[in-house]
Amino acid sequence: MDKTHLPPELRQEIEEAYRHPRVRTADNVFDDPILGRIAKNLNWNECSMMLGRLIIDGKYVGALGVRAAGTGQYTADHARLWSLVNEPAAIALANSRRHHEVTDLKDLLADDNKYLRDELRKNTVEIVGADFGLRDVMENVRK
């Protein structure tokens, strides 16, 4: 995924959940200071765009946008409809991120578990009587 560098004041504008509308529209992306940088970075032609800021509990978690060839393609009604997608998309993105975190932690735990089991096998000592009087005890330990 290509990243577009934004100066701090533009990044702050995107991330401040309470100061700006959740849906940003541009009749021409090159007329918008934020969307214009993205369009230039991705070598887009002139187009219209709607960008929904994904916010959960007042915290910015990402953005979801659509664009159409040509200028002036989106109306206020389009923006209203796009705003309805905001909450479900924000929840889906947050859940996806959490799932990746849990998967990564699970993999780390499996690696640690394997390492510890290998270390235990290396450091085992033969116990006198393990095959005779302590047989039942040793079977319980192995379980």
Give the model confidence (pLDDT) of 24-44 as tens digits: 899 999 999 989 998 999 999
* Count of beta carbons in the 10 Å neighbourhood of residue 77: 8
* Count of beta carbons in the 10 Å neighbourhood of residue 39: 21
Please say whether the beta carbons of 41 and 2 come within 8 A: yes
Helix (H) or strand (E) holding 53, with range, is: strand 47-56
Please say whether the beta carbons of 66 and 50 come within 8 A: yes
Per-residue pLDDT, averaged over 69-75, amounts to 95
CA distances (Å), origin 20, targets 40, 45, 60, 141:
23, 26, 12, 62
One-letter identity of residue 133: G
Please say whether the beta carbons of 61 and 55 come within 8 A: yes
Is this prediction's pTM over 0.75? Answer: no
- C-alpha triplet 2, 31, 67: angle, nearest 5°: 55
- The per-residue pLDDT of the chain, averaged, comes to 86
Higher-confidence residue of 59 and 128: namely: 59
**Phi, psi at 96, each rounded to 5°:** -65, -45
